[in-house]
Structure 1
Amino acid sequence: MKSHSSTLLAEVRSFRQNHPDVRYVDLIALDIPGHFYGKRYPVEMLEKVAAGSPLKLPQNAVLLGVQGGLFKIGDYCFNDGDPDANRRLVPGTLKPVNWESQPLGQMLITSDGTEAPIEFEPREVLAKVLERLQHQGIHPVVAFELEFYLFDKQLENGLPQFARDPLSGDADDQPNLHIERLSRFSDVLDDMAQTAKDQGIDITVITAEIGPGQFEINFGHCDDGLRAADWAALFCRSTRGVALKHGYRASFMAKPYLQFPGSGMHVHVSLYDAAGNNLLAAHQQQPLRHAVAGCLELLPHCMPIFSPNHNAFRRLGGTVNAATRASWGFEDRDACVRIPESDPRNLRIEHRLASADANPYLVLAAILVGLEHGLDAKREPIAPLNEDRNSGTDFPVEMLDAVRAMQQQPILRDKLGAEFVDVYCENKRQDHLAFQQEIHAREYRWFL
């Protein structure tokens, strides 16, 4: 513990020396809907925390709804006295922020690794899954891919507007994959990439996607699942900030335009033993087939994680490469679980169903539980799409159905934690009901 504190203290002191103009640091963590909450600390107080002083925030901050409000979930929020819970600093995440008007730093905090971790904190849920796999001799290597849209900074009657092409000044309203779009938007994209690297995020490929103003960023393969999810979470925060600085809005909303493709979160996962052997490639890739079967079996019960809001369900069965059933295939982007072509050393699955605004910690946790279940159960999967284009099993396409399917699934309750499953499902149910309470103008046009 002393060594851990000394390492953190050295990190904070080094940061202060390299960034003497920074007076405050945002200490941040991801809540259940995937938003950051936290506190802004004077940097000298951060040094005290790094040296061992307690760091406490309200436990129920994790339970915030999409709009930031609290829901009554069991005894939480209104019958528990709103207690504080210990957090700790995540080593290696103290970085400068360059998108604010004043010099600032930020650092991740978490309850995992404390004496009393919060059972429903997303990072803690993933930490438990990774720890269990490690005890089984399974070591995941993970890479995220995130799609997002750029919009004009100004909304019109509350609606997003196409991003302006910096070269022509016209709206970038044409769907295409042209590489020239990367050049035209290079100022903001280059700043996003460099800012991500400054945050310690290993980003690799940048792609102009099909939707107007839509792009994709790939991250490097990482042998630390928590760090891989940290990268995805931090990238969303920095990208939104950089976009505003350049006069745009960046959004990871799942389906901002009905007529154009939605934005997804694709997750590549391979599994290795302690000697570095790819577990999925053993015995003529039989474990790969078992892992796929486990993923597909649990996928219909994980839909509130993969599609965490009303809009995310709109993306399913959309214009391009968005599955409508739980399916798999080799080199097939219509499948929920795609097997990219690779050598045995790099054999992996690509899970393509989650929306870009899903919580990366929970998405990865759900995928890993599916893989774990498949390796344990050793069942054969359904036919791949390469053999049968109609292959697949149905999954819920409405939130309340999805919540019921998740809450009653015994494997998820065991592997993700029953307390987490109950809290998460109730949070999603309450958010969905709150969303339905507003009468849309369309209802007046149709029914008045």
Structure 2
Amino acid sequence: MKSHSSTLLAEVRTFRQNHPDVRYVDLIALDIPGRFYGKRYPVEMLEKVAAGSPLKLPQNAVLLGAQGGLFKIGDYCFHDGDPDANRRLVPGTLKPVSWEAQPLGQMLITSDGTEAPIEFEPREVLAKVLERLHRKGIHPVVAFELEFYLFDKKLNDGLPQFARDPLSDDPDDQPTLHIERLSRFAPVLDDMVQTAQAQGIDITVVTAELGPGQFEINFGHLDDGLRAADWAALFCRSTRGVALKHGYRASFMAKPYLQHPGSGMHVHVSLYDAAGNNLLATHQQQPLRHAVAGCLALLPHCMPIFSPNHNAFRRLGGTVNAATKACWGYEDRDACVRIPESDPRNLRIEHRLASADANPYLVLAAILVGLEHGLDAAQEPIAPLNEDRTSGHDFPLEMLEAVRAMQQQPVLREGLGAEFVDVYCENKRQDHLAFQQEINAREYRWYL
């Protein structure tokens, strides 16, 4: 513990030396809907925390709804006295914030690794899954890919406007999948990449996607699943900030336009043993098929995680590369679980179903539980799409049905934690019901 504190203290002191103009640091963590909460600390107080002073925030901050409000979930929020819970600093995450008007820093905090971790904190849920896999001799290597849209900074009557192309006023004049669009938006995209790299994030590939103003960012592969999810979360935060600085609005909303492709979160996962052998490639790839079967079996019960809000379910309507059934295939982007072509060393699954605004810690945790279940059950999967284009299991396409499917699933309750599953499902149910408490103009047109 002492060496851990000394390492953190050295990190804070080095940061202060390198950034003497920074007076405050945002201490941040991801809540259940995937939004950051936290506190802004004077940098000299951060040094005291790094040296061992307690860091406490309200436990129930993790339970915030999509709009920041609290819901009654069991005895939490309104019958528990709103207690504080210990957090700790995540080493290696203290970085400068370049997109704000004043010099700032930011650093991740978490309850995992504390004396009493919060059972429903997303990072803690993932930490427990990874710890269990490591005890079994399974070591995941993970890489995220995130799609997002750029919009004009100003909304038009609350509706998004296409991003202003510097070379054209015509919103339809945005070359799809062309390198030219990367050139047209190079100033903001380059700033996004450089800012992410300054946060310690390994950005590899930038792609112009099918939608107008839509892009995809790929991250490097990591043998630390927590850090991989940290990268995805931090990238969303910095990208939104950089976009605003350039006069745009960056959004990871799952389906901002009905007529254009939605934005997904693709997760690549391979599994290795302690000696570095790819477990999925052994025995004529039989473990790969078992892992796929486990993912597909649990996928219908994980939909509140993969599609965490009403809008995310709109993405699953059978448009470009968005599956409508739990299915798999080799080199097939219509599949939820795709097996990219690779050599045995790099054999992996690509899980493509989650929306870009899903919580990366929970998405990865759910995928890993599926892989673990498949390896334990050792069952063969259904036919791949390459052999049967109709192959696949149905999954829920609306939130309340999805919550019911998730809450009673015994493998998920054991793998992710029963307390987390109950809390998460009630949070999603309440959020969905709160979203429905508004009559829109179309409802009056149809029924008045």
The bucket for the TM-score relative to the shorter chain is over 0.9
CA deviations 1:80-116 (Å, max 9, x no partner) are: 0000000000000000000000000000000000000
The alignment covers a number of residue pairs equal to 448
SS in 2 for 1:427: helix
TM norm structure 1:
0.99
Query: In the TM superposition, what is the alpha-carbon distance from 1:174 to its structure 2 partner?
Result: 4.5
SS in 2 for 1:73: coil
- 318-327 or 224-233: bigger deviation: 318-327
- Are positions 1:86 and 2:118 aligned together? no
Query: In the TM superposition, what is the alpha-carbon distance from 1:176 to its structure 2 partner?
Result: 1.1
SS in 2 for 1:87: strand
Query: In the TM superposition, what is the alpha-carbon distance from 1:169 to its structure 2 partner?
Result: 4.1
Partners in 2 of 1:173 and 1:130 — Cα distance? 45
Within a 5 Å distance, the mapping from 1:49-64 to structure 2 comes to 49-64=49-64
- Give the 3 Å change call, closer, same or farther, for CA 155–173 of structure 1 in structure 2: farther
The equivalent residue for 1:334 is 334
CA deviations 1:158-187 (Å, max 9, x no partner) are: 000000101234435646111100000000
Structure 2 unaligned residues grouped into runs of 5+: none
Within a 5 Å distance, the mapping from 1:338-417 to structure 2 comes to 338-417=338-417
Partners in 1 of 2:173 and 2:49 — Cα distance? 49
SS in 1 for 2:216: strand
SS in 1 for 2:357: coil
CA deviations 1:107-143 (Å, max 9, x no partner) are: 0000000000000000000000000000000000000
Partners in 1 of 2:319 and 2:184 — Cα distance? 25
TM norm structure 2:
0.99
CA deviations 1:296-321 (Å, max 9, x no partner) are: 00000000000000000000034200
Are the equivalent residues in 2 in contact too, given 1:163–1:172 (CA < 8 A)? no
Partners in 2 of 1:445 and 1:355 — Cα distance? 31
Are the equivalent residues in 1 in contact too, given 2:125–2:365 (CA < 8 A)? yes
Partners in 2 of 1:213 and 1:319 — Cα distance? 18
- Give the 3 Å change call, closer, same or farther, for CA 173–306 of structure 1 in structure 2: farther
Are the equivalent residues in 2 in contact too, given 1:137–1:273 (CA < 8 A)? yes
- Are positions 1:104 and 2:113 aligned together? no
Over aligned residue pairs, what C-alpha RMSD do you find? 0.7
Partners in 2 of 1:3 and 1:199 — Cα distance? 24
Partners in 1 of 2:446 and 2:426 — Cα distance? 31
State percent identity of aligned pairs.
Answer: 91
The equivalent residue for 1:38 is 38
CA deviations 1:30-75 (Å, max 9, x no partner) are: 0000000000000000000000000000000000000000000000
Are the equivalent residues in 1 in contact too, given 2:175–2:181 (CA < 8 A)? no
Partners in 2 of 1:238 and 1:172 — Cα distance? 28
Are the equivalent residues in 1 in contact too, given 2:152–2:162 (CA < 8 A)? yes
CA deviations 1:262-285 (Å, max 9, x no partner) are: 000000000000000000000000
Partners in 2 of 1:317 and 1:334 — Cα distance? 12
SS in 2 for 1:134: helix
Are the equivalent residues in 2 in contact too, given 1:175–1:211 (CA < 8 A)? no
Partners in 2 of 1:61 and 1:21 — Cα distance? 30
Are the equivalent residues in 2 in contact too, given 1:173–1:213 (CA < 8 A)? no
Partners in 2 of 1:291 and 1:116 — Cα distance? 32
Are the equivalent residues in 2 in contact too, given 1:28–1:108 (CA < 8 A)? yes
Are the equivalent residues in 2 in contact too, given 1:265–1:358 (CA < 8 A)? yes
SS in 1 for 2:385: coil
Partners in 1 of 2:262 and 2:239 — Cα distance? 18
- 297-306 or 164-173: bigger deviation: 164-173
Partners in 2 of 1:147 and 1:259 — Cα distance? 16
- 224-233 or 167-176: bigger deviation: 167-176
CA deviations 1:171-213 (Å, max 9, x no partner) are: 3564611110000000000000000000000110000000000
SS in 1 for 2:282: helix
